[in-house]
Amino acid sequence: MESNALNINNIIDEAKFSSFHWTVLFWCLLIIIFDGYDLVIYGVALPLLMQEWSLTAVQAGFLASAALFGMMIGAMVFGTLSDKLGRKKTIMICVALFSSFTFFGAFAQNPTQFALLRFVAGLGIGGVMPICVALTSEYAPKRIRSTLVAIMFSGYAIGGMTSALLGAWLVADFGWQIMFYIAGIPTLLLPIIWKMLPESLMFLVKAQDHHKANRIVQKLAPKQPIDSQTQLVLDEPTKGDDAPIRALFQKNRGISTVMFWTAFFMCLLMVYALASWLPKLMIQAGYSLGASMLFLFALNIGGMVGAIGGGVLADKFHIKPVLTTMFTLGAVALILLGYNSPQLVLYSLIFVAGATTIGAQILLYTFVAQYYPTAVRTTAMGWASGVGRIGAIVGPILTGALLTLHLPHQTNFLFIAVPGLIAAIAIFLVNLTAAVEGKKVVNDPILIKDSMLT
């Protein structure tokens, strides 16, 4: 029996990139595109909602945070639940929630109804992110794992860009509701997603669903002989890793776990402050509604380029200094945005801000996915993302409160920039000697670099 044991972690790590990987990447990417669309949609609708419902800046900030509060709960609950139900079923639940309830938001008659619908949609928006990262990371060949996860998660920025562009073209003529009608499309795609998206191989092996697991292994390694005697095995979790939440603080991971949570909090504070308030901030600075939507577009273009470029750099160098540098550059770009600049410089600064905030957020997920062992990976991402959502909730509210103080334009952006410096320090303090890849604890600095990159 020993000779027929087949380690699936090794099969995945050494697999050649194939049509199967394209399938996983495409559907996770598409889901995250709609996820990003549904998130940024509020920033597009915000100026018109404030007029229609006579909202103050603080009220609008609280309304934005309804979805973000849902995202915090969704990330924690669904991230952990996916280890019990399976990645695929949980993704389907999340897509149904964020798509259908965003669609229903078009029919809200008042801020209370709208906030409730955004909260439920937020459960799905927040829940699907860490699960799609986990599924893509699980199936990605080791040598290009950071790049593939970054490409997949760049769908978040693509969705944001789509939302901003459609908002600039459609909202003036059709009202803010048109954006929410479009958000219902993924609900119609659920049967196709169910058919095309594979379940986690590790979940299938743990559930002893040998038939489905063997079929996936054959797609990953067509030349690998498998018969009725073949036993698929996982890298065994080291002692203590079978209690996921507690394991986040064991084996010298405690400080690093807190640092990841701090970085997520600060990063998401910046991302959601900008996603919710950038158009309003630029209108306040004297730009038109259409131009302000294009600033949101430039922000998300930067996010996509930053995610993919950062992923490539992380596969070549080390993800830790890449992230530290990105957060520092982001803080500098945000500070400079507060000053009058030529249009080209202004768009360039917004591009850099997007690359180093949205892009860095995506790389943070990648870092966490590679830092923790498989047994606690989804839980680690779910909790880091969930704690980060507190920053996402604070961001729009804090920015709305800042606007009521009528501070100088430079001061508003300075406040948004400070979290970037704190996030840079937090990532710098992550302890790589506690990093685990599979069942092997990596203690040698050179081996740490190799394992974290791949």
Tens-digit pLDDT profile for residues 270-282: 888 887 777 777 7
Separation CA 126–CA 94 (nearest Å): 8
pLDDT, tens digit, 9 for 90 and up, residues 389-433: 788 778 877 887 877 877 777 787 888 889 999 999 999 988 777
Separation CA 41–CA 34 (nearest Å): 10
Residue 285 pLDDT: 64
Question: Residue 116 above 90 pLDDT?
Answer: yes
Q: Which two tokens stand for residue 61?
A: 């900030």
Q: What is the mean pLDDT of residues 375-380?
A: 74
Residue 453 pLDDT: 30
- Model confidence at 240, pLDDT cuts 50, 70, 90, reads very low
Residue 290 pLDDT: 63
Residue 163 pLDDT: 84
Question: Residue 446 above 60 pLDDT?
Answer: no
Cα 68 to its chain centre, rounded Å, is 13
CB of 427 closer than 8 Å to CB of 325: no
Give domain limits for the chain.
2-453
Residue 238 pLDDT: 44
Percent of the chain with pLDDT over 90: 19
CB of 262 closer than 8 Å to CB of 426: yes
Angle at 133 between CA 329 and CA 119, to 5 degrees: 85
The most confident of the ranges 117-126, 168-177, 295-304 is 117-126
Percent of the chain with pLDDT over 70: 87
Residue 263 pLDDT: 94
136 or 207: which leads in pLDDT: 136
Residue 448 pLDDT: 33
pLDDT, tens digit, 9 for 90 and up, residues 3-41: 477 777 778 888 888 888 899 999 999 999 988 888 778
Over the range 248-270, which residues count as b (16 or more CB within 10 Å of their CB) and which as e? bebbebeebbbbbbbbbbbbbbb
Residue 376 pLDDT: 73
Q: What is the mean pLDDT of residues 142-162?
A: 80
Question: Residue 104 above 80 pLDDT?
Answer: yes
386 or 241: which leads in pLDDT: 386
Q: What is the mean pLDDT of residues 133-140?
A: 85
Q: Which two tokens stand for residue 140?
A: 């990605």
231 or 89: which leads in pLDDT: 89
Q: What is the pTM of this model?
A: 0.73
Residue with tokens 């044991």: 5
Identify any residues that bridge with 231 across adjacent strands, giving them in sequence order: 5
Question: Residue 329 above 90 pLDDT?
Answer: yes
Residue 281 pLDDT: 72
Separation CA 420–CA 79 (nearest Å): 26
Q: What is the mean pLDDT of residues 207-223?
A: 80
Question: Residue 148 above 70 pLDDT?
Answer: yes
Residue 13 pLDDT: 80
348 or 246: which leads in pLDDT: 348
102 or 243: which leads in pLDDT: 102
Residue 188 pLDDT: 92
Beta strand pairing call for 231-233 and 5-7: parallel
Residue 342: φ, ψ to 5°? -60, 155
Question: Residue 86 above 60 pLDDT?
Answer: yes
35 or 251: which leads in pLDDT: 35
Hey, how many other C-beta atoms are within 10 angstroms of the C-beta on 65? 27
pLDDT, tens digit, 9 for 90 and up, residues 354-374: 999 888 888 888 888 778 776
Residue 61 pLDDT: 73
Residue 94 pLDDT: 94
Q: What dotted CATH number matches 2-453?
A: 1.20.1250.20
CB of 311 closer than 8 Å to CB of 151: yes
- 3-state secondary structure labels for all residues of the chain: CHHHEEEHHHHHHHCCCCHHHHHHHHHHHHHHHHHHHHHHHHHHHHHHHHHHCCCCHHHHHHHHHHHHHHHHHHHHHHHHHHHHHCHHHHHHHHHHHHHHHHHHHHHCCCHHHHHHHHHHHHHHHHHHHHHHHHHHHHHCCHHHHHHHHHHHHCHHHHHHHHHHHHHHHHHHHHCCHHHHHHCCHHHHHHHHHHHHCCCCHHHHHHCCCHHHHHHHHHHHCCCCCCCCCCEEECCCCCCCCCCHHHHCCCCCCHHHHHHHHHHHHHHHHHHHHHHHHHHHHHHHCCCCHHHHHHHHHHHHHHHHHHHHHHHHHHHHCCHHHHHHHHHHHHHHHHHHHCCCCCHHHHHHHHHHHHHHHHHHHHHHHHHHHHHCCHHHHHHHHHHHHHHHHHHHHHHHHHHHHHHHCCCCHHHHHHHHHHHHHHHHHHHHCCCHHHCEECCEECCCHHHHHHHHHC
Over the range 303-330, which residues count as b (16 or more CB within 10 Å of their CB) and which as e? bbbbbbbbbbbbbeebbbebbbbbbbbb
Question: Residue 445 above 50 pLDDT?
Answer: no
Residue with tokens 């501070």: 407
Question: Residue 1 above 60 pLDDT?
Answer: no
Q: What is the mean pLDDT of residues 72-79?
A: 84
Task: Report which of 316, 414, 417, 420 is spatially closest to residue 364, judged by C-alpha positions.
Answer: 420
Identify any residues that bridge with 233 across adjacent strands, giving them in sequence order: 7
Mean pLDDT of the chain: 80
